[in-house]
A = this chain, B = another copy of it.
Amino acid sequence: MNDAGDIVLVPIGHVDSALTDLDDAPRQGDEGAPDAWVVVNPDVAAALLGTEVGDEVVIITWLDRAQRDVLVTHPRGDTSRPESGVFATRAPDRPNPIGLHLARVVEIDANRVRVDRLEAIDGTPVLDLKPMLASPDRR
């Protein structure tokens, strides 16, 4: 925390993707997201030990283009749909725009991890990487 009691995060890496335009990004990873690399910073790359091809992972990102002052929204910007609070949606605009992305590891090259689908755009900061469902031997 900083002196004000806020929580300070430092990215552990970033997304390296062919997706560069927010307008081209699918809303969810299962809606046509391309494969992409998660590039982990060298200073924390030791934390990848044990991550393997085939692992189902949760990639936690910081959606740095999102608006943080939105509390209520029309889902997908469709004004014909009733308003919903952002905590009841997966909309990126929310007080703490944390993105959760489910994907499978398809390649590991030193500090870079390629996953089979990721709807975050190129350059998106990555905050954490976890196994999706902790199998008992990883608990």
Hey, which bits of chain A sit against chain B, CB under 8 A? 1-2, 6-12, 27-28, 40, 44, 46-52, 55, 58, 60, 62, 64, 71-72, 75-76, 82-90, 94-96, 98, 100, 125, 127-131, 134, 137-139
Contact = CB atoms under 8 A, between A and B. Distances in A.
Nearest to A41: B95
Copies of this chain, count: 2
Contacts of A127: 7, 96, 98
Contacts of A76: 139
22 contacts: A2-B8, A7-B10, A9-B9, A9-B96, A10-B96, A12-B96, A28-B139, A44-B71, A46-B72, A47-B86, A47-B94, A48-B85, A49-B84, A49-B88, A52-B88, A87-B128, A88-B131, A89-B134, A90-B131, A90-B139, A98-B98, A98-B127
